[in-house]
Amino acid sequence: MTYAKTDSFSEHFQQLAELAKVLSHPARLTILDLLSRTESCISGDITQQLPLSRTTISQHLQELKRYGLIKGEVTGNKVYYCIDKVKWEEAQQQLMLFLQQVDRVKNFSCKPTDGC
Domains contained in the chain, number: 1
Confirm whether 107 is domain-assigned: no
Q: Where are the beta strands (DSSP E) in 1-116?
A: 41-42, 70-75, 78-83
Contact present, 19 and 94 (Cβ < 8 Å) = yes
By the 10 Å C-beta count (0-12 exposed, 13-18 middle, 19+ buried), 59 is classed as: middle
Domain residue limits at 47:
10-102
Confirm whether 108 is domain-assigned: no
pTM score of the predicted model? 0.81
Instruction: Tell me which of 12-16, 28-32, 70-74, 111-115 is least confident.
Output: 111-115
Confirm whether 64 is domain-assigned: yes
CATH number at 73 reads 1.10.10.10
Highest mean predicted confidence (pLDDT) among 32-36, 74-78, 98-102: 32-36
Confirm whether 46 is domain-assigned: yes
Confirm whether 86 is domain-assigned: yes
Looking at residue 61, what DSSP letter applies? H
Confirm whether 1 is domain-assigned: no
What is the C-alpha to C-alpha distance for residues 103 and 33, in angstroms, rounded to an integer? Answer: 26
Confirm whether 53 is domain-assigned: yes
